[in-house]
Structure 1
Amino acid sequence: MNDPAFARTRENGAEFGSIAASGKLLRTALGPMVFRAKDSKLTSRLVKVMGQIKNLDSVSARGARNVAEGLNSTSSTTILEGFDFNARATLGSVLNSIVSVDTATGAASIAAFNPLEQMRSPEGATHFSLQVGFLRIDFATGAYELAQSDKEVFALAHGMISPVLTPATVPTTTGTGMHFILIEFFQEVNGVPYLLNNGIFNVLNLLKIS
């Protein structure tokens, strides 16, 4: 534990523990959203991304570099924005449209698109839902607050739609602002939409850092 020959090992271990905790905090903060759209390697993929952000920490001593300080670098935005929690269904592969975000309110606007022609959907799906989340998270203190919009359900049918989704509130806690979109697919049976169990085509994407 104190042998100077293993100083680098101890430093690396401390930083790995820190980035693993940061990834877990993010998953916890997203609550049920992340369980709707994730893959089996999400934890390891998040650790890798958090490690890249930790490496941007230019003020902490070696062994104490952390995600909270790394996020102060403008380069962290390019690492985080666009992260897909389900690598099997990325936003770009499922939805062929442009999503823009109002970082003040968390509202997300999707450019007009035809669901039947501009979405990749699983076999048997008849409907899909859209929901956005506005998260503020402080990786230094562990504090977070998530505001979500209502889910809006649309038919997988011809016709142009231009959805605008707005979170019910704006998070008031301090920390980094993160904006997410969740896409889920359903099958309608006798007028009732049922969530497809496999979730393989469900999307959870980090749209924007603010």
Structure 2
Amino acid sequence: MAKQSNILELTGSIGNISFYKTKEGYRARQKGGVTKKRILTDPHYERTRENNAEFGRATSAAKHIRHALAFSLAKAGDNTFHNRLKSLMVKVVQSDPISDRGERTVQIGDLDILQGLRLNKKRSLDGSLGQYVRIEKESGQLKFTLKNCNPELFQAPSSTTHFRLFAQGLRMNFEPFEFVKSLYETPLLPIETNGIDLSFDLKIEGDLPGKELFAVGLEFFQKLGDTPYPVAKKDFNVGEVV
């Protein structure tokens, strides 16, 4: 790294030299770094190639799951979801107990790592539904029970008049990516009603083999006349992989 001593202080690149500003002043350095060809062929970069291959599989799987969860994300997702999902999918790939490094896959990894993933980072299912909700998962089926519930304790925005619960089930095969889904949502329910009892079973239809994922969530609305409007730009809505 060299210090610029010119009358003109430069930023940018000229030929193979990069000019930039730091807290200590203007600096210059020669462009360098490892070439793509070397990373692809040099034995010293074998671990880098392994990591890149597995990161690519995790990124692709995250993209597919986000697409498959579109129903739930439209109700309660935020703009950080994809990056948070991608980080967890790297761990799913790394949990593959059979394949060699660089060959590990989502298909053999542990998808339970996604349990508890929030669609909206700010709100948790437990924090909203708390002690009331009981969720049981069997193969291909989700059983949801809400007993003697007081919806006023859902931490809803003050303008909320109604709420709605939703759920989604997925069964996915990742190589190549295919999925089947099942969807459920309640009618709009008044937030001021006490002692609500609600239960539903969500079964994933179809005979596609693969890994299963369920998401459950909660939406808040303000009803004006006969028209419901999402409250606070959906920022208070809740969704979570269960």
TM bin (shorter chain):
0.7 to 0.9
Opposite residue 97 of structure 2, the aligned amino acid is S
Taking the aligned partners of 1:185 and 1:171, their CA distance within structure 2 comes to 31
Q: CA deviation at 1:188?
A: 0.8
Query: What do residues 85-114 of structure 1 show as CA deviations (whole Å, max 9, x unaligned)?
Result: 111111122222223235254342223311
TM-score under structure 2 length normalisation: 0.76
Give the counterpart of 2:104 among 42, 57, 65. 65
- 8 Å contact kept, 1:136–1:177: yes
Q: Structure 1: which 4+ aligned runs deviate by more than 4 Å?
A: none
Equivalent residues, number: 201
Q: CA deviation at 1:39?
A: 2.1
Larger-gyration structure (1/2): 2
Give the corresponding residue for 1:110. Answer: 146
Shift in alpha-carbon separation, 1:184–1:69, aligned structure 2, 3 A: same
SS at match of 1:112: strand
The yes-or-no answer on 1:92 pairing with 2:92 is no
Q: CA deviation at 1:197?
A: 5.5
Taking the aligned partners of 1:171 and 1:135, their CA distance within structure 2 comes to 10
The yes-or-no answer on 1:154 pairing with 2:189 is yes
Q: CA deviation at 1:66?
A: 1.6
Give the counterpart of 1:27 among 66, 74, 87. 66
The yes-or-no answer on 1:172 pairing with 2:211 is no
- 8 Å contact kept, 2:72–2:215: no
What residue ranges of structure 2 are gaps of 5+ in the alignment?
A: 1-39
The yes-or-no answer on 1:40 pairing with 2:79 is yes
SS at match of 1:144: strand
Opposite residue 222 of structure 2, the aligned amino acid is Q
Taking the aligned partners of 1:191 and 1:166, their CA distance within structure 2 comes to 29
Q: CA deviation at 1:168?
A: 7.3
Taking the aligned partners of 1:108 and 1:52, their CA distance within structure 2 comes to 28
Give the counterpart of 1:142 among 163, 168, 177. 177
Shift in alpha-carbon separation, 1:172–1:108, aligned structure 2, 3 A: farther
Q: CA deviation at 1:29?
A: 1.0
What residue ranges of structure 1 are gaps of 5+ in the alignment?
A: none
Taking the aligned partners of 2:57 and 2:191, their CA distance within structure 1 comes to 43
The yes-or-no answer on 1:124 pairing with 2:163 is no
- 8 Å contact kept, 1:54–1:65: yes
Give the corresponding residue for 2:41. Answer: 2
Relative to total residues, which structure has the larger strand share, 1 or 2? 2
Q: CA deviation at 1:200?
A: 0.8
Opposite residue 203 of structure 1, the aligned amino acid is V
- 8 Å contact kept, 1:83–1:206: yes
TM-score under structure 1 length normalisation: 0.87
Q: CA deviation at 1:2?
A: 0.9
SS at match of 2:228: strand
Q: CA deviation at 1:4?
A: 1.1
Higher relative contact order (CA 8 A, sep 6+): 1
Taking the aligned partners of 2:74 and 2:116, their CA distance within structure 1 comes to 18
- 8 Å contact kept, 1:150–1:167: no
Q: CA deviation at 1:165?
A: 2.8
Taking the aligned partners of 1:10 and 1:105, their CA distance within structure 2 comes to 39
Taking the aligned partners of 1:94 and 1:68, their CA distance within structure 2 comes to 33
- 8 Å contact kept, 2:77–2:119: yes
- 8 Å contact kept, 1:29–1:144: yes
Q: CA deviation at 1:172?
A: 2.6
The yes-or-no answer on 1:80 pairing with 2:114 is yes
